[in-house]
Amino acid sequence: MTTTHLLHRLAWASGMAMLLSFMAAPGQAADKPILIGATSSETGPFAADAEYNLNGMKLAIEEANAKGGWLGRKLDLKVYDDESKPGTAVRLYTRLITEDKADLLIGPYSSGITQAIAPLMNKQQYAVIEPEASIPTIYVPGNKWNFQGVASSLTYLEGLLPLAKKNGASTVAVLGLKSAFTLACYDARIAQAEKLGMKVVYKTTYSLPEPDFASMALAIKSAQPDVVLGCTYYPDAVGLVKAFKAQGFAPKYFAETVGPVAAAFTKALGPLANGIISNTGWWHNFKTPGSKEFAEHYKAMFKQDPDYHSAAGYGAVKVLGAAVEGTKSLDQDKIRAWLHANTVDTVQGPFKVDANGLSQGFSQSLVQIQDGHLKLVTPEDMAEAKLLVPYTGQ
Amino acid sequence: MLAVQLLINGILLGGTYVLIAQSLNLIFGVMRVVNLAHGSFIVMAGLFTFWFSARTGLNPLIVLPIVFIVSFIVGGLLQPVLIEPLMNQGRKAELLSLMVTFGLDYVLVQIALHVWGADYVSLPYLQSTWTLGGITLSKALVVVGLFAVAIVALLYFGLNYTSFGKSLLAASQSPVGAACCGINVRRVRLFAFALGVALASSAGTLLIMILPMAAESADNLTILAFVIVALGGLGEYAGVTIAALLLGVAQSLAGYFFGGDVANVLPFVILIAVMLLWPQGLRRAA
């Protein structure tokens, strides 16, 4: 074989190889899983509730994969632990975008952490559903790429004060942990009490870790309010109940936002948990589409009942899937426009947002711990039990 | 009556602070070792107690001697490997101990995360109260306070009136002088570290009845212990007890009159003020 022949053959072979590689490229991309990136608070003070949220996402992805994924591609979830710290979350979402080249993103646990990553989403132009960011100040004209996937923080425990007032309560104490979500709830409940003509006899904010709850509980005991509203996360929710008991005070209505719904709450407090009121964006007897199956599948997969955090995580993946299938693409501009224009039925209720991405469809119902179990007490048409008052602290 | 209740609340809170801080003080006092893993020992014992009590149904106060003995052995095994080799490094020993115990803290927190997860837990034990003449006393806080009193009393008498205690004090004041007098300084340091770890762990077993704890609360407890020890004076047992009680009362009053935010920031404000006015701690100032 002459050198010319050899060169011709090499050129022909390399040409064919290139042609084959071009032909193969679209097929390989189609087979490659869609990478969905997120952070979750696997450690730190938000870990108890964040785990439920992440499990909800995992279930939705498992279900989607069982049906062949989205756009004919399987889904792959990449999750990093943000340690309940906003700064860590920003670093990890940057990594998901720049190093892992995530196709889609889902928001982290808590309003504070979401607030920290919102500018990054705007800069990188990722349309992100935020399953755990309830504060409305994230969904403003400057933040064009964030969509609220949970009820607004202004609605947490919103149903309690009118109910208590109807039953003769007139004085309120409001406590708020210094975090974005709890402070938004704190301000909203104080404003609501004043609007209802109820007297706010005590209010204070505090920070974790381990504040001295005893002196706050004693101050509230001196003020003798009918209703105590704690805008809390799990650790302080537990600490406050113990401190009230230690100071020998049991308000008629004792409500806390985040914490009581977690199974660990009743384990930590035993009988003291009975009578504590909280709220939920989803409950197993909600008549929303897919709610029953969601509860069954979740229990089968994680050997525990889901809560509203699980429903929010589950719903976020479902809505994102609807947007991807609706646009038949992973193009962030198209997904963003679709999310603004459409309503998606989720287990929490209808996902529907205004021009700034603020939820217009989700709401919160009240639950109460009775005999060691959570019972839905509002709305009346779905309630499993009547609200039991007064809280006895026993 | 309110003033009495506030004072009692403060003293009981101070009692928990004594428990948190005194073991750190012991280890520093004898060995000049700044134990950054202090909070990890408290938290690991707390989480272990929660886990053990939940499974066996045993009263945490019965778990206490188990925790004390096991952690004493753990402390006794760690000291010759991690701490004792640093003692020959002269002036560098304190800095090196910071690094070694920082590493130990990281390892212990990761072990706790791996074994017990990241959730905050608390034991529903001794949650009821006694009421005496209008004053409400939490049984859990009273029990913790009594243990704090017992530990302070044992440390005081043990250090001042037993020959081994005097050896501990001698070794802390002048290791070379103590060795010249025939005191086995290595053994004294081993015992002090093991006892410090055992006391910290006992504090964890008691505190899990009061404070929700998670693996990652370790560093917060270490910082709190450092603030109290710095206020009282490093190596000053009476000073640290006084500082813990004063801080408890100050926080109780601040929390009642000014709310949670002021109570949170108060330890650090007091620390800055004391460091500026009396850098040797409250005990030396008195």
Residue A388 structure tokens:
């039991």
Interface test with A, best of B13, B120, B224, B227 (most A CBs within 10 A): B120
Which chain A residue has the Cα nearest residue B110?
Answer: A43
Do the beta carbons of residue A151 and residue A362 sit within 8 Å? yes
Which secondary structure element, helix H or strand E, spans residue A35, and what is its range? strand A34-40
| B252 touches A at CB < 8 Å | yes
Name, of A14-23, A324-333, B155-164, B275-284, the range with top average pLDDT.
A324-333
Select the residue of A209, A238, A245 nearest B122 (Cβ to Cβ): A238
What is the average pLDDT score of chain B? 88
Residues B260, A212: C-beta atoms closer than 8 Å: yes
Q: From its phi and psi, is residue A302 left (phi > 0), alpha (psi between -120 and 50) or beta?
A: alpha
Q: Compute the average pLDDT of residues B12-36.
A: 87
Residue A39 Cα, gap to closest chain B Cα (Å): 15
Count the Cβ atoms, other than its own, within 10 Å of residue B96. Answer: 15
Q: Mean pLDDT across the stretch A180-194? A: 94
For the ranges A130-134, A257-261, B95-99, B206-210, the maximum mean pLDDT occurs at: A130-134
> B211 and A210: CB-CB below 8 Å?
yes
Whether B190 has its CB under 8 Å from any CB of chain A: the answer is no
Q: Which helix (H) or strand (E) element contains residue B52? A: helix B38-56
Q: Given pLDDT bands bounded at 50, 70 and 90, which one contains residue A30?
A: low
pLDDT of residue A394 exceeding 80: no
Q: Which of A16-30, A266-280, B11-25, B120-134 has the lowest mean pLDDT?
A: A16-30
Of A127, A254, A259, A244, the closest CA to residue A181 belongs to: A259
Q: Considering only CB atoms, which chain A residues are within 8 Å of B128?
A: 245
Rounded to whole angstroms, how far apart are CA atoms A89 and A108?
8
How much is the average pLDDT of A217-241? 93
Instruction: Give yes or no for residue A14 having a pLDDT over 60.
Output: no
- Backbone conformation region of residue A69, classed left if phi is above 0, alpha if psi is from -120 to 50, else beta: left
pLDDT-derived band at B178 (thresholds 50, 70, 90) equals confident
**Are B124 and A204 within 8 A, CB to CB?**
no
> Chain B: residue nearest A176 by CA?
B260
Cβ-defined contact of B256 to A210 (cutoff 8 Å): no
Between these two residues, B257 and B91, which has the higher pLDDT value? B257
pLDDT score at A44: 80
With beta carbons under 8 A apart, name residues in chain B contacting A45.
120, 214, 216
Asked if residue A1 has pLDDT above 70, the reply is no
The CA angle A213-A86-B115, to the nearest 5 degrees, is 70
**CB-based contacts of A126, cutoff 8 Å, min separation 6:** A97, A104, A105, A145, A332
> Which chain B residues are within 8 Å of A369, Cβ to Cβ?
none
d(C-alpha B239, C-alpha A67), whole Å: 68
Say whether residue B9 is in contact with chain A using an 8 A CB cutoff. Answer: yes
Residue A348: pLDDT over 90: yes
Tokens representing A25?
């490229």
How many beta-carbon pairs under 8 angstroms link A with B? 136
- Across the interface, do B260 and A271 touch by the CB < 8 Å criterion? no
Looking at the predicted structure, is the pLDDT value of residue A19 above 70?
no
A149 shares contact with chain B (CB less than 8 Å): no
The answer on pLDDT for A50 being more than 90 is yes
Which pLDDT does position B151 carry in this prediction?
A: 84
Quick: pLDDT tens for B187-245: 988 998 999 999 999 999 998 988 888 888 898 899 999 999 989 888 788 889 999 99
Q: Which tokens is A242 given?
A: 């113990």
Q: Is the peptide bond before A209 cis (omega within 30 degrees of 0)?
A: yes
Mean of the per-residue pLDDT values of chain A: 90
Residue B27 to residue B138: CA distance in whole angstroms? 31
Q: Which residues of B touch A47 (CB under 8 A)?
A: 117-120, 214
Asked whether the predicted pLDDT for residue A10 surpasses 60, the reply is no
For residue A28, the tally of other CB atoms under 10 A from its CB is: 9
Answer with the residue of higher pLDDT: A103 or A265: A103
Chain B CB within 8 Å of residue A218 CB: yes
**CA of A42, closest CA in chain B: separation in Å?**
7
Please tell me the predicted confidence (pLDDT) of residue A123. Answer: 92
- B120 touches A: beta carbon within 8 Å: yes
Query: Which of the four pLDDT bands, split at 50, 70 and 90, describes residue B261?
Result: confident
Stretch A367-390: mean pLDDT: 93
Task: Note the maximum CA span of chain B.
Answer: 58
Confidence category of residue A211, pLDDT binned at 50, 70, 90: low
Residues in A closer than 8 angstroms to B144, CB to CB, are: none
Residues A284-343: tens digit of each pLDDT:
989 899 999 999 999 999 999 999 999 999 999 999 999 999 999 999 999 999 999 999
Contact B18, B249 (CB under 8 A): no
- On the question of pLDDT at A18 being above 80, the answer is no
In chain A, which residue ranges form alpha helices assigned H by DSSP? 3-31, 47-66, 86-98, 111-124, 160-166, 180-195, 213-223, 234-246, 263-269, 291-302, 308-327, 332-341
Q: Structure pTM?
A: 0.79
Q: Is the pLDDT of residue A4 over 60?
A: no
Q: What is the pLDDT of residue A23?
A: 47
- Chain B residue with the nearest C-alpha to that of A265: B121
Give the whole-angstrom CA distance, residue A238 versus residue A353: 34
Q: Does the distance separating the beta carbons of B124 and A269 come in below 8 Å?
A: yes
Residue A23: what are its φ and ψ, rounded to 5°?
-65, -35
Q: Which pLDDT band holds residue A122 (cuts at 50, 70, 90)?
A: very high
Residue B107 — pLDDT band, cuts 50, 70, 90? very high
Query: What are the backbone angles phi and psi of residue A249, rounded to the nearest 5°?
Result: -130, 130
Give SS3 for A13. Answer: helix
Which one of B118, B128, B254 has the shortest CB-CB distance to A44? B118
Kindly report the number of other CB atoms within 10 A of residue B220's CB atom.
17
At residue A13, the pLDDT reads 53
For residue A44, list chain B residues with Cβ-Cβ distance below 8 A: 118, 214, 216
Give the best residue of A215, A267, A269, A392 to mutate against chain B (max B CB count within 10 A).
Answer: A215
